[in-house]
Structures are given as C-alpha cells and as structure tokens.
C-alpha cells in the first residue's frame, strides 16, 4: 500500500481544505493508498493520521516577518522541521501539496528538501500565489491583471506594509520551485491553467481538474417553506444568500451586500461566514457553517446566490449554490464566468448600481429565477460532479506508480 501525504494551511474551514479533505476522506475508505494529512493552523484534530505541524508562537513571528518586513516564507523553522521529519519517518510515496502559504511553512527550506527525495509530488493550485510575486489573487481580478482602475482586491493576502519586496519574493519562489523532480501541477480552473502555462512553471506537467460538488447533498428543495420554518427564516420573502469564510475580507465585496440590503428592505439577505455583524433587520449572519447538512439546507431554502467577490480561482461556494438550483449574480471575473455559464447574471466589476438593477430585475421574475436555477443545476451535473473529480485524482495517483 502506497502512502500519500496531503499538506494544507488548515484542516478546517475554507475551499482548499474542503478539496483536500474530500480526497483524504475518499482514500480513507480503503484501496491502494494510506492517506495522511499535515496542516499548519487551527485547532488540533484528534483523528488518525492527521498531524498539526504549526504552533502559536511561530505563526505570529511569521506574520510579523511578512507584514512588517515584507519577507515571506522565511519563518516557521520548527514547523517546517517537524514536517520534514514526518516525511523522513513515514517515507511517503506521494506528497500532495495544496496551499503552502499562510504563515506556517518555510518554503525555501521545504522545497530544498523535496528536491532531495524520490517521492512523487502533486501540487493543486487553489490560487495564484505560487506564480505571483506576493498576492494570492490578482490575475483573477481583471483590474489587477490589466492595471486598469482600482478595486477592493488591492487588499492583499498575504498582507504586507512593504509590497515593494514582491520582486524579491518572486525570485525566491522561482529558485525554490524550479528543479523539483516528479512534479505534477493541478489547476481547478482553465483560466488559471493558462496563466501557469505562461509562468516560470510552464515546463511542468499541468492538468485541469475542476472542483467537484456532491450533487446528492447539494440539490434543489422540494419545499423551501419547510426548511425556512426549520431555521426560523422568513417564509414569504425572497432570500438572497451570500457566503465567505471571512466576511470582513474586503476582497469578498461584502460592502456591496450591505448596500443592497439597505436598498431592498423588503428582501431578506442571509450570510454564512464569520467576522462581521449585521445592524440591518433584513440581513442575518448565520455564522460559519461546518455541518454539511445545514449548509445544504441553507442553500436549498434560498432563491438567489449573491457573490460579489473581486477575485477568485474556482469557488466551491458558487458551485454548491448552483448545484442547489440557485442562479448566481455577481461581478464579471474569470472564475465566476467560467463556472456559471448561462446561469449567471454578471455585471462590471465594482459596479454596485448595476448589481442593484440586475438583482431587482431578477427578484421580480419568478420564471427567470427558475430557468437560471435549472441551468445552474444542469451545468454542475454535467461539468462539476464530485464523483468525476475524485475519479480523476485517483487516476493520477495510480498513474504515478
């Protein structure tokens, strides 16, 4: 039996850990691989083969180095050492990297180690950080990519007060990542695949595997009123759902949600995520939802999915909403345009007035909501089914050996 190690910033919330954990959980069912999962941040998890490598003190030291000195990826010495020792001990056949940024890993030291071992390396890019000087998102935003105009995605992650060191960080990334043996890069978005093929990593094998959704779990509801009664939500109003792991992240465009809630007092806005509170009577923040059944219910009881994000890669939230039969309304960015297709209502980036106009028009047309929702569901069943996603990854794991 081959051993495979998944590595990600967290084991809990967010899109990247969801993808990594879906793969980890699938391999736990048995077969040709014994899966392990190493992560840097979050609560310690008491689960077999799940190892937290990061610690509290190193995290804050790493944050200080990034934010106040503009030096990324040079902290977390002991966390990185712990990860290297784990790999030496278990002698993994395959190492599947996910997000390696997030203040928990010294990437020059870690990649220097990876170049010396014979393990097969798979790296799923959940954003642009590996090929970008500093930001995790920029090419996913048309304004940042072209330099035309200002937008909220200037709020960067990782955040620093010294962005002029970005070129130095990019040089270190090139030096660290080039020369890695047995590397396969996976992109969940076609637009990101194209960007990788133009980057310094263009000579590696690059595969496109879209993120998958459990269509048996995330599906349209037969009776929204029953679910709304269950969760003490209005039964007679249109519900506009929005979500983000951290709602206060300016990149997610939540200020536009507040604007729309003020302009549509007779509609109900429901938010999933953490970090902000609502002072609007028609806007409720449910909090971050980790329970998949509750998550599926909240999608199913809603009418429209509002996604005013400025930059994304291949957002699972939008896919889950579409699978639940919700039309998507948001800004015209590559990630949303690619996945939503005909089920979208997209407006120019940052144009909150256009967003208001289209939302008003959509909410007054029950037939259009229904038609767009059916198109959304059909696209997920056709292009983003979780079983196909898992099968493609399993094929890659097996092909390496």
- Give the burial class of 328: count Cβ atoms within 10 A of its Cβ; 0-12 exposed, 13-18 middle, 19 or more buried: buried
- CA-angle at 70, arms to 253 and 78, nearest 5°: 105
Cα separation, 112 vs 65, whole angstroms: 21
Cα separation, 139 vs 113, whole angstroms: 30
Residue 153 has pLDDT above 50, yes or no: no
pLDDT of residue 155: 46
pLDDT of residue 135: 78
| Each residue's pLDDT tens digit, 39-78 | 999 999 999 999 999 998 999 999 998 888 888 888 999 9
* Least confident piece of the model among 8-17, 230-239, 304-313: 8-17
The per-residue pLDDT of the chain, averaged, comes to 90
Residue 147 has pLDDT above 70, yes or no: no
Q: How many CB atoms lie within 10 A of CB 118?
A: 8
pLDDT of residue 146: 41
pLDDT of residue 141: 55
Main-chain dihedrals φ then ψ at residue 391, nearest 5 degrees? -60, -40
Q: How many CB atoms lie within 10 A of CB 59?
A: 18
Same fold, 2-212+386-399 and 224-383: yes
Cα separation, 66 vs 278, whole angstroms: 32
| Each residue's pLDDT tens digit, 287-302 | 889 899 999 999 999 9
Check residues 151 and 20 and name the one with the higher pLDDT: 20
How far from chain centre, in Å, is Cα 41?
A: 16
| Each residue's pLDDT tens digit, 239-263 | 999 998 788 888 889 899 999 999 9
Is beta strand 304-307 parallel, antiparallel or unpaired with respect to 328-331?
parallel
Residue 151 has pLDDT above 70, yes or no: no
Q: What is the DSSP letter of 371?
A: H
Residue 324 has pLDDT above 50, yes or no: yes
Cα separation, 312 vs 211, whole angstroms: 13
| Each residue's pLDDT tens digit, 328-355 | 999 999 999 898 877 677 889 989 999 9
313 Cβ contact list (under 8 Å, min separation 6): 125, 126, 127, 128, 137, 140, 188, 189, 192, 335
SS3 205: strand
Cα separation, 50 vs 52, whole angstroms: 7
Main-chain dihedrals φ then ψ at residue 35, nearest 5 degrees? -90, 145
- CA-angle at 192, arms to 191 and 196, nearest 5°: 125
pLDDT of residue 157: 67
The verdict on domain 224-383 having CATH code 3.30.470.30 is: no
Cα separation, 201 vs 207, whole angstroms: 13
Q: Place 145 in a pLDDT band, splitting at 50, 70 and 90.
A: very low
Cα separation, 16 vs 24, whole angstroms: 12
Cα separation, 46 vs 52, whole angstroms: 10
N- to C-terminal Cα separation, the chain: 11
pLDDT of residue 19: 94
Helices 15-28 + 316-323 axis angle, to 10? 70
Cα separation, 377 vs 219, whole angstroms: 8
Average pLDDT estimate for 217-224: 93
CATH topology of domain 2-212+386-399: Rossmann fold (3.40.50)
- CA-angle at 317, arms to 307 and 223, nearest 5°: 90
Residue 85 has pLDDT above 90, yes or no: yes
Q: Place 164 in a pLDDT band, splitting at 50, 70 and 90.
A: confident
Return the domain boundaries, the chain. 2-212+386-399, 224-383
Q: Which residues are 50's β-sheet partners?
A: 37
Model-wide pTM > 0.85: yes
């Amino acid at each position: 039996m081959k051993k495979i190690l998944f590595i990600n910033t967290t084991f809990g919330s967010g899109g990247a850990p969801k993808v990594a954990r879906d793969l980890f959980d699938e391999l736990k069912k048995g077969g040709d691989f014994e899966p392990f999962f190493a992560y840097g941040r979050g609560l310690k998890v008491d689960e077999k083969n799940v190892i937290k490598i990061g610690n509290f003190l190193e995290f804050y030291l790493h944050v200080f180095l990034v934010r106040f000195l503009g030096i990324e990826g040079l902290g977390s010495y002991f966390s990185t050492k712990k990860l290297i020792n784990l790999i030496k001990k278990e002698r993994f056949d395959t190492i599947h990297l996910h997000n390696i940024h997030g203040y928990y890993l010294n990437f020059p030291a870690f990649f220097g180690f990876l170049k010396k071992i014979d393990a097969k390396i798979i790296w799923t890019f959940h954003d642009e950080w590996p090929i970008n000087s500093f930001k995790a998102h920029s090419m996913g935003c048309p304004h940042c990519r072209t330099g035309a105009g200002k937008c909220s995605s200037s709020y960067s992650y990782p955040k620093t007060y010294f962005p002029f060191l970005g070129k130095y960080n990019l040089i270190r990334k090139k030096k660290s990542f080039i020369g890695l043996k047995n590397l396969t890069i996976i992109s969940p978005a076609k637009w990101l695949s194209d960007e990788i093929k133009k980057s310094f990593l263009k000579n590696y094998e690059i595969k496109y595997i879209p993120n998958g959704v459990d269509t048996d779990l995330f599906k349209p509801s037969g009776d929204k009123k029953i679910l709304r009664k269950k969760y003490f939500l209005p039964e007679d109003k249109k519900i506009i759902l929005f979500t983000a792991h951290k709602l206060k992240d300016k990149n997610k465009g939540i200020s536009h949600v507040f604007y729309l809630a003020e302009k549509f007092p007779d509609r109900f806005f429901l938010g999933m995520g953490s970090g902000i509170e609502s002072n609007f009577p028609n806007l409720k923040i449910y909090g971050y939802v980790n329970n998949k059944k509750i998550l599926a219910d909240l999608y199913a009881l809603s009418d429209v999915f509002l996604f005013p994000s400025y930059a994304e890669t291949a957002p699972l939230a939008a896919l889950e909403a579409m699978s639940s039969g919700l039309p998507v309304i948001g800004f015209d960015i590559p990630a949303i345009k690619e996945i939503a297709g005909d089920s979208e209502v997209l407006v120019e980036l940052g144009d909150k007035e256009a967003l208001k106009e289209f939302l008003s028009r959509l909410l007054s047309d029950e037939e259009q909501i229904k038609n767009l929702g059916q198109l959304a569901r059909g696209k997920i069943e056709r292009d983003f089914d979780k079983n196909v996603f898992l099968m493609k990854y399993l094929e890659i794991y097996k092909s390496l050996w």
